[in-house]
């Protein structure tokens, strides 16, 4: 395990993923019944944007840095506002110095009755995550392989909620692992919402992944991809797969993703795609 999210925290892919994550949490909050979030690859929790890792890549400046500084059209701005407010809550001085990863964004949006289970296997990231979550009794961090956790924690007793699967894509077989894992998980907990993140570097692998999901028998799958265009030597596009997305999420993403892609674009070729792999068409 070499991947360290601290180099990438707050970049365009985090903004895309976390803006959608916050929308899903807002939908879950619409009903009073408790929900559970299972974050299988949770990361360290809170990232120092002034630290050596973030400074070395500067990726956050083209991600959260830009979206905080650039006004969007009103409809998109109101959909993005809860995410920006959550980020602002970790930066009480106003200037952007810290970026909350998925478990802290989840906690921020959770109510007293909701629960978070966060898996992180890398020891130093797990120790940081434990520190970041320590004071909050609604959250539990576990030093467990997220793929094992996915099987072990499903279905949660709340019977409603979200599973976020956000692996580092260090292994060559990560796409097929992801496809197998989601099929198995969805069988164990058919009504859960699932959000999967993937990088778009190898277009053939991504196409194959989409086809495998479309033929998997899972009835409702929405796919979103966002590209920032420009040079091709590092990550310039990422995707999300959403199984059982909340009602109206697709409509919200249709409003939000175009303006977001324009703000995040670093060159020609930027944009977004949104389609149903199964259902809703
Ligand atoms: N979900 C986080 C967020 O949105 O803020 C970012 C997670 S980062 C992309 C992936 C994380 O998975 C890394 O912190 C890495 O240490 C961790 N990791 C790698 N292999 C893992 C495994 N098998 N089980 C659990 N965590 C793992």
Ligand 1 atom nearest to 47, measured from its CA = 5
135 lines ligand 1 (CB under 6 A): no
Q: Nearest C-alpha to atom 13 of ligand 1 is from which residue?
A: 43
Would you state the pLDDT for residue 135?
81
For the annotated catalytic residues, the residue numbers are: 166
Low-confidence ranges of the chain (pLDDT < 50): none
Would you state the pLDDT for residue 27?
98
Q: What residues form DSSP beta bridges with 226?
A: 238, 272
Would you state the pLDDT for residue 139?
98
Can you give the pTM of this predicted structure? 0.98
Would you state the pLDDT for residue 1?
73
Ligand 1 centroid, distance to 236 Cα (angstroms)? 20
Q: What residues form DSSP beta bridges with 162?
A: 37, 193
Residue of 213, 175, 158, 197 whose CA lies nearest to 20:
197
Would you state the pLDDT for residue 269?
83
Q: Nearest C-alpha to atom 21 of ligand 1 is from which residue?
A: 121
Pocket test for ligand 1, best of 4, 11, 42, 194 (most atoms within 8 A of CB): 42
Pocket test for ligand 1, best of 167, 174, 238 (most atoms within 8 A of CB): 167
Answer yes or no: are the C-beta atoms of 221 and 276 closer than 8 Å.
yes
């Amino acid at each position: 395990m070499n991947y360290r999210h601290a180099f990438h925290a707050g970049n365009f892919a985090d903004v895309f993923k976390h803006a959608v994550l916050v929308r899903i949490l807002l939908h879950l909050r619409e009903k009073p019944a408790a929900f559970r979030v299972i974050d299988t690859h949770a990361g360290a929790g809170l990232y120092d944007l002034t630290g050596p890792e973030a400074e070395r890549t500067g990726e956050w400046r083209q991600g959260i840095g830009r979206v905080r500084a650039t006004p969007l059209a009103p409809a998109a701005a109101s959909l993005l506002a809860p995410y920006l407010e959550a980020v602002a809550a970790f930066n009480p001085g106003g200037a952007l110095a810290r970026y909350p990863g998925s478990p802290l964004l989840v906690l921020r949006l959770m109510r007293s009755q909701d629960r978070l289970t966060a898996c992180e296997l890398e020891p130093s990231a797990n120790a940081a995550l434990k520190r970041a979550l320590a004071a909050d009794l609604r959250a539990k961090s576990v030093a467990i392989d997220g793929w094992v956790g996915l099987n072990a924690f499903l279905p949660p007793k709340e019977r409603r909620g979200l599973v976020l699967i956000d692996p580092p894509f260090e292994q060559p077989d990560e796409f097929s692992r992801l496809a197998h894992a989601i099929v198995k998980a969805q069988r164990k907990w058919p009504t859960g919402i699932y959000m999967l993140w993937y990088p778009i570097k190898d277009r053939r692998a991504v196409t194959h992944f989409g086809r495998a999901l479309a033929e998997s028998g899972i009835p409702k799958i929405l796919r979103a991809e966002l590209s920032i265009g420009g040079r091709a030597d590092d990550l310039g596009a990422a995707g999300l797969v959403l199984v059982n997305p909340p009602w109206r999420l697709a409509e919200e993403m249709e409003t939000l993703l175009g303006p977001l892609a324009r703000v995040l674009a670093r060159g020609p070729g930027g944009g977004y795609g949104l389609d149903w792999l199964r259902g809703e068409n």
